[in-house]
Amino acid sequence: MWLSEILDQHCRQRRDAPAVVEGERSLTWLELRSAAHSVAAHLSERGIRHGDRVAVYSRNRLEVIVSYFALAHLGAPFVPVNHAMLPTEFADAAARMDIRHVMGERRPVEKLGLAEDRTTVFDSEEFQKTLVAEQTPPPLAATLDDPLAVLLTSGTTGKPKGVLQTAGALRQMTLSWLAQARADDTVRLLNLNSLSHGSITATFHYVAAGATLHVMREFQPRAVLRQITEHGITHIWMVPQMLRFLMMAVGKDTTVPNVLREIMFGASPMSQELLRDARHAFGCGFRNIYGMTEAGGTFCTWLSDARTEETGSVPLESSGRSVPGIRVEIHDEDGRSLPVGEVGEVCVLALGRMSHYVGDAAETSRTIVDGWVRTGDLGLMDACGYVHLKDRKKDVIKRGGQNVFPAEIEAAIAGFDGVEDAGVIGVPNDVWGEVPLAFVVVAEGSGFSADALLTFLHGRLASYKLPKEARTVTQIPRNAAGKVLRRVLAEQVGGTR
Q: Which domains, and CATH codes, for the chain?
A: 2-304 (3.40.50.12780), 397-492 (3.30.300.30)
Q: What is the pLDDT along the chain (497 residues), one digit of tens a residue?
A: 789 999 999 999 999 999 999 999 999 999 999 999 999 999 999 999 999 999 999 999 999 999 999 999 999 999 999 888 889 989 999 999 999 999 999 999 999 999 999 999 999 999 999 999 999 999 998 899 999 999 998 543 457 899 999 999 999 999 999 999 999 999 999 999 999 877 899 999 999 999 999 999 999 999 999 999 999 999 999 988 789 889 999 998 899 999 999 999 987 677 788 899 999 999 999 999 999 999 999 999 999 988 888 788 899 989 999 999 999 999 999 999 999 999 899 999 999 999 999 999 999 999 999 999 999 888 899 999 999 987 666 677 888 888 787 878 988 998 898 898 899 999 999 889 999 999 999 988 888 999 999 999 998 899 999 999 999 999 998 764 456 888 889 888 865 44
Instruction: Give pLDDT, residue 229.
Output: 95
Biggest CA–CA distance in the chain, Å, is: 74
Q: How many CA atoms are closer than 13 Å to the CA of 132, on its beta-carbon side? A: 5
Under 8 Å between Cβ of 353 and 292:
no
The answer to whether residues 18 and 212 touch, using CB atoms and an 8 Å cutoff, is: yes
Q: Could you give the residue ranges of the DSSP H alpha helices within 215-348?
A: 221-230, 240-250, 272-282, 306-311
- State the virtual CA torsion across 110, 112, 113, 118 in degrees, nearest 10: -80
Q: So what's the pLDDT on residue 347?
A: 98
CA of 266: how far to CAs of 236, 242, 296, 462, in Å? 11, 11, 15, 22
Measured CA to CA, the distance from residue 477 to residue 469 in angstroms comes to: 19
Distance CA 204, CA 213 (A): 9
The enclosing H or E element of 88 equals: helix 87-97
- Is residue 243 within 8 A of residue 265, CB to CB? The reply is yes
Question: Could you tell me how many residues make up the chain?
Answer: 497
The dihedral through the CA atoms of 401, 405, 408, 410 has a sign that is positive
Closest CA to 236 of 223, 253, 251: 223
* DSSP 8-state class, residue 6: H
For residues 319 and 288, is the Cβ–Cβ distance under 8 A?
yes
Measured CA to CA in angstroms, residue 72 lies from 69, 258, 354 at distances of 5, 35, 17
How far, in Å, CA of 194 to CA of 215, rounded?
9
Which residue from 43, 35, 162 is spatially nearest to 102, judged by alpha carbons?
A: 43
